Structure 1
Amino acid sequence: MPSFKAPKLPGSPRLAAILGILALFVVVAVVAGTPYVRQGVENALLAESEAKPAEKVIDPPAPLFTLSDVNGRSVSLTDFRGKWVFINFWASWCGPCVVEMPLMEKLNQTMKNDPFVMLAISLDDAEPVKIRQFAKELGVSFSVLMDTANVAREYGVTSIPATFVVNPDGLVVAQAQGAREWDNPEMVKFFRDMMETAPKKD
């Protein structure tokens, strides 16, 4: 299972400013005591952490799930069988997560004519309506789901952001730990190549 190979988010005044603004969300989350807070704070401080190397294993089946999105609609992974599914675990209090969301949206728009679906699974304890508003302010159009069933644990997520790609057969074929420049041409090429080289069914 390959790990994503793309430039990490660059250090820049813009990135630093965004992380500074989002520090408030981290403080609020610490007070709330959510289960991912400690790692979330570490992620905010280590916005440019390197991706963890992928394990040398056969592509495993993606853990199935059914969750509600921020609009109350039920969404199941099996709804997208036959498509490539991009699954991103994130939270509003995680600085790097929020920084990469608009970049994910750009990738989503680039791939809109492909058999490609993007899902963002929120680990927030906040009410869905608040996360819906947060996502709206970020300008994202892809589905945002609420992790009310510990799906992150099923995927072995220990820190966020964490991203997984599930192929049309329901297997996890790629993963990434940490934020990425999802709109980078190299990243788009990564997905195009993966789709083109995938075994074709008769």
Structure 2
Amino acid sequence: MGLRLRIVGKAVLGICAALLLAACAEDFGPDQHGRKVTADSLDGQWLVINYWAEWCAPCRTEIPELNALEEELQKHSARVIGVNFDGLQGEDLQRAADSFKIRFIVLAQDPAARFELPHNDVLPVTYIVDDKGRMRERLVGEQTAAGVLAHLQRLRGE
């Protein structure tokens, strides 16, 4: 009886472990440098997701603001994430991100479905996603670091 109980106990533990692993979120795919962006590195944080394109003049002036915001957000359990509107991949994405001097993560795979972000045809557009993965706000047009930080603090109740 004791042996059977141990075997059943191990089986139950194995099933529980498998269920926990299955519940883990899918990774975000590669960034502009080809490095894997894990779910663990972003889940549970507030995200500022910015869509940009090379042909978008306001995007060019907004990127330095987002670089500064990324540095500031390190103190606030939040991150800036970029997404290329034109879906550039691999070397093309890296070249474009480098030409803009982007210092935050740029995802090669669009996370819109993951966060249920509405489609937008105007650039730049920035979405604020809370630590539970819910979109909380959409900001259309060029943003400043101070402006986005104010929105983020208001949404977080700070």
> TM-score category by the smaller chain?
0.5 to 0.7
Do the aligned partners of 1:70 and 1:128 also contact (CA within 8 Å) in 2?
yes
Superposed, 1:91-110 pairs within 5 Å as 91-110=53-72
Do the aligned partners of 2:82 and 2:106 also contact (CA within 8 Å) in 1?
yes
TM-score if structure 2 supplies the norm length? 0.67
Change (3 A) 1:81 1:149: closer
Equivalent residues, number? 132
Looking at structure 1, the residues matched to 75 and 100 of structure 2 have their Cα atoms a distance apart, in angstroms, of 22
Superposed, 1:40-189 pairs within 5 Å as 66-75=28-37, 79-124=41-86, 126-147=88-109, 155-180=118-143, 182-184=144-146, 186-189=147-150
Higher relative contact order (CA 8 A, sep 6+): 1
Q: Secondary structure at the match of 1:130?
A: helix
Which has more helix, going by share of residues? 2
The equivalent residue for 1:45 is none
Do the aligned partners of 1:124 and 1:146 also contact (CA within 8 Å) in 2?
no
Larger CA Rg, structure 1 vs 2: 2
Which ranges in structure 2 are unaligned for 5 or more consecutive residues? 1-25
Superposed, 1:24-43 pairs within 5 Å as none
Do the aligned partners of 1:119 and 1:142 also contact (CA within 8 Å) in 2?
yes
The two structures, once aligned, show a CA RMSD in angstroms of 2.9
Change (3 A) 1:86 1:67: same
TM-score if structure 1 supplies the norm length? 0.54
Percent sequence identity is 20
The equivalent residue for 2:18 is none
Change (3 A) 1:109 1:148: closer
Q: Secondary structure at the match of 1:144?
A: strand
**Moved segments of 4+, more than 6 Å:** none
